[in-house]
Chain A
Amino acid sequence: MKSYVLGEFGAEAALLDAARTLRARGGATLDLHSPYPLHGAEEALGLRKSTVPLVALVAGITGAVSGYLLQWYTVGYAWPLNVGNRPPHSAPAFIPVTFELGVLFSALAIFVGLLAVYFGFPRVHHPVFEVEAFRSASIDGLWLSAEVEAGDADAVAAELRRLGARLVSVVPEGK
């Protein structure tokens, strides 16, 4: 059984400090929520290098290769078409579709991948939204969320208060 401990901070420095302290303490999966990008958030959360570029590259190459093969198989091999007396397998004519499919696969992989990884799709609702005050994360609030074992929640909540959170809430998961 997991719980989410939420804390709202008044200043960036305090928020990042709290993230560093809790990360050193261990036992919690941390995230930060703010209305604008926070410099130093990656370092404070100890995030590894993103895998998004690799996913985009692999998907892009897959798309480009399948785009080319699709054209080669249909127009160049299975049903050769004579268009303006050009050879059925005409690489220059295949490039635009190859490029477009590379971009399409890449974009779709990032879109679907982010939905799945960051938002836990098919989950459509996240426990942090149970807290009414959390709305300020998209207006002017700086929030830290810690996913912890239920038994540890009170200790983490106390720690967040000690670190300067002006508002702390605990949301048990799965109600």
Chain B
Amino acid sequence: MTLTPYLGGRRLMTMAAAVGAAGLVVTALGAVVGDPRRVLYAYLVAFVYWLGLALGALLLLGALHASNARWPVVLRRFLEHLPAVIPLFVVLFVPILLGRGHLFPWVDPHGLEGEVLHAVEHKKPWLNVPFFVVRAAIYFACWILVAHLLRAWSLRQDAVGGHDLTRRQRALGAGSLPFVALTLTFAAFDWMMSLDPRFFSTIFGVYWFAGSFVGAFAVVIIAANATRVDPNQFGAHMNTEHFHALGKFLLAFTAFWAYVAFSQFMLIWIANVPEEVPWYILRIEGGWKAVGVFLALFHFLVPFFLLMNRAITRVPGRLAKVAAWILFVHWIDLYWLVMPHLDPGGPRPSLWDLSAFVGVGGVTVAFALVRMRGTVAVPVRDPYLEDSLRYLPQ
């Protein structure tokens, strides 16, 4: 197979960058003229949403290498590009670092009292600013290193071919999984769970992962469907079985998200321990209850039954619509995870939610397109590409 390297997308890239810049400028203005605390919370939701998708793609890439999967070789290049946006998030992390005092109650214990103060003092060895920064640096270093090597080896294979680079990718892909999984978990603890210093849940990182992982599948499906008409793109080389397989994964991990969400909720609810329950009381009483019910119905039940239909999973256009819905409810999910600490009474949507979302999203998409330029959209000399192209599950 010979493909022309991807050079286009200039218009799309400019548009995404413009929308992103506009969103970020509006958000920054909001922090100056409006309530900086509200703006920072909105920004945090957008940050963990887009970064989570990139991390989901990185873990998916590692998992596919670990399982010696041949069928997804045709779409693997796209999965290699997605985590390549993570360096951008080092820059995007700066506002969170600067606004830490507004976000995290443990940064400045003055004014805290009772059990919150007690929790902050008890967790001081972990929840302190210098260590927080060091940990973030470790997380980013780990993600960027793994993402860079997997992508670089794959790109080099386009030129030299052979099995050697495949073996290396498989070893690193599999070997990186525990490290990426643990750094992701602790990042979730640091950036979202510590919004309430009392709360602790060991499955919390898995919850962020579960939503992001199903979101990464959704991104792949949407991109594959959108590029079906372009013979230089990977979508054009995928057959019905590839889409069906992605649809089945979307179904499986939608169920996995629900399983994790319910496990965390049920165990905390039934144990009824004073340190843990306030986190859920905040979310199942008042205005946030409706959001929780919405998530159970529309992040799980409806997509679950939709994705059981072959009439949807085997038709790329329809599958892409469900995938777009998944990406939308995933944002609601993270909003529900973060925002109750700002608005305990119920959701109070603001302009900054939208501006932060399109701001971070726009620059992320633009940067992803920059990373894609000059590379071919399919690993053309991967020894298993032929197997992937004639993928027909038994």
Contacts and interface: CB of A to CB of B under 8 A. Distances in A.
Contacts, number: 17
Given A36-B394, A53-B308, A96-B266, 8 more contacts: A39-B392, A86-B270, A92-B265, A92-B269, A93-B266, A93-B270, A95-B262, A95-B266
B4 interface: no
Interface in B247-282: 262, 265-266, 269-270, 272
B66 to A, nearest CB: 26
A84 interface: yes
Interface string B363-394: 00000000000000000000000000000101
Interface in A61-94: 84, 86, 92-93
B251 to A, nearest CB: 13
Contacts of A95: 262, 266
Most buried by B among A36, A53, A92, A95: A92
Contacts of A37: 394
A92 B394 contact: no
Contacts of B266: 92-93, 95-96
The 3 closest A-B pairs by CB, nearest first: A37-B394, A92-B266, A92-B269
Interface of B: 262, 265-266, 269-270, 272, 308, 392, 394
Interface string A32-56: 0000110100000000000001000
Nearest to B392: A39
Nearest to B272: A84
B392 A92 contact: no
Nearest to B267: A92
A39 B265 CA distance: 45
Contacts of A84: 270, 272
Contacts of B265: 92
Nearest to A83: B270
Contacts of A96: 266
Contacts of A93: 266, 270
A59 B392 CA distance: 30
A86 B392 CA distance: 52
B91 to A, nearest CB: 42
A36 B394 CA distance: 8
Contacts of B272: 84, 86
A160 to B, nearest CB: 27
A84 B262 CA distance: 20
A36 B265 CA distance: 44
Nearest to A84: B272
17 contacts: A36-B394, A37-B394, A39-B392, A53-B308, A84-B270, A84-B272, A86-B270, A86-B272, A92-B265, A92-B266, A92-B269, A92-B270, A93-B266, A93-B270, A95-B262, A95-B266, A96-B266
